């Protein structure tokens, strides 16, 4: 299905966003891979289609499982059609195992130690400040969201974790951690937005990353593309 062209309103490291009507957008996934806050950047032909397909697959699955998401449809290539929201500029990270920036701030724990219960973290979306960890109280004081919204964000994030962990585990995969972003629709309801792909999740298959960690660790674009293709074939996503 081809989606209507729209007006470019935002361009980030991995995506472009086009406005197609007052309440609908197109997210276009770029054939680029970046790491270390954009310090390492490479062209990756075919990657946009892989991350768009993964996002469409996970968002569709979550929608069918009762999570309110921004997803409408996928064009079969690099674009997905989504609802326009007022975005909350906070990255919500859910962790099942100690890894990544958690280990950097808590070096007392060994990588890949399983947490007794999943952790939910809030980070301010700000590349210049490297997305610092913030408290729920900071979000409320800065009027980015209300206490009720934060409580709902946390409970939806944990529900998403349960659904995705189970789905991946049924395919023999481990969900280490992932990042979510939320927005609010015209009715004031909280909606899960943005992306869900190997770029925003850590997924292990027999100890091997099927996610962007490969590239962060110095792996090649080819290795990354092979890992994303493996994830797609395990999930039964044909391109």
Closer to ligand C5P by Cβ: residue 20 or 133: 133
The answer to whether 53 and 74 are in contact (CB under 8 A) is yes
Task: Give the separation between CA 210 and CA 224, rounded to whole angstroms.
Answer: 8
Shortest spacing between CB 202 and ligand C5P, in angstroms: 4
Find the part of the chain contacting ligand C5P (CB under 6 A) among 61-69, 112-120, 166-174, 198-206.
Answer: 198-206
Q: List strand residue ranges (DSSP E) for 12-68, in order.
A: 15-21, 24-29, 32-35, 40-43
Judged by CB under 6 A, does residue 178 bind ligand C5P? yes
Q: Out of 55, 161, 200, 232, which residue is the one contacting ligand C5P (CB under 6 A)?
A: 200
| Near ligand C5P by CB under 6 A: residue from 47, 79, 179, 209 | 179
Number of residues that bind ligand C5P (CB under 6 A): 14
At 62, is the secondary structure helix, strand, or coil? helix
- Shortest spacing between CB 2 and ligand C5P, in angstroms: 28
Q: Of 127-166, which residues contact ligand C5P (CB under 6 A)? A: 131
Answer for which of 201, 204, 224, 225 binds ligand C5P (CB under 6 A) is 201
Q: Nearest Cα to 50, choosing from 178, 182, 234?
A: 234
CA distance 178 to 34: 17
The residue count of the chain comes to: 239
Min dist. Cβ of residue 69 to ligand C5P (A): 16
Q: Tell me: does residue 228 bind ligand C5P (CB under 6 A).
A: no
For ligand C5P, the binding residues in 88-107 under the rule CB under 6 A are 91, 93, 99-102
- Pair of tokens at residue 206: 């027999």
219 lies in the site for ligand C5P, by CB under 6 A: no
Enumerate the H helices of 65-209 as residue ranges.
101-105, 136-141, 147-169
User: In whole angstroms, how far apart are CA 88 and each of 35, 64, 162, 219?
Assistant: 23, 24, 23, 33
Residues in contact with ligand C5P by CB under 6 A are: 91, 93, 99-102, 131, 177-179, 200-202, 212
């Amino acid at each position: 299905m081809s989606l209507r062209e729209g007006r470019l309103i935002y361009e980030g490291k991995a995506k472009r966003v086009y406005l197609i009507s007052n309440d609908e957008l197109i997210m276009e996934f770029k054939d680029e891979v970046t790491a270390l806050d954009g310090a390492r950047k490479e062209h990756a032909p075919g990657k946009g289609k892989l991350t768009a397909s993964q996002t469409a697959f996970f968002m569709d699955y979550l929608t069918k499982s009762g999570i309110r998401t921004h997803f409408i449809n996928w064009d079969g290539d690099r674009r997905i059609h989504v609802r326009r929201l007022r975005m909350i500029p906070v990255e919500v990270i859910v962790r099942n195992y100690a890894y990544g920036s958690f280990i950097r701030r808590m070096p007392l724990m060994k990588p890949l130690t399983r947490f007794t219960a999943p952790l939910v973290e809030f980070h301010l979306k700000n590349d210049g400040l490297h997305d610092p960890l913030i408290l729920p109280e900071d979000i409320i004081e800065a009027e980015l969201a209300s206490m009720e919204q934060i409580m709902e964000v946390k409970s939806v994030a944990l529900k998403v974790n349960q659904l995705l962990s189970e789905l991946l585990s049924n395919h023999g995969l481990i969900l280490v951690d992932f990042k979510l972003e939320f927005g609010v629709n015209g009715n004031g309801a909280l909606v899960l937005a943005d992306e869900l792909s190997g770029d925003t999740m850590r997924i292990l298959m027999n100890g091997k990353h099927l996610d962007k960690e490969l590239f962060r660790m110095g792996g090649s674009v080819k290795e990354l593309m092979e890992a994303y293709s493996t994830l797609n074939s395990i999930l039964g996503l044909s391109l």
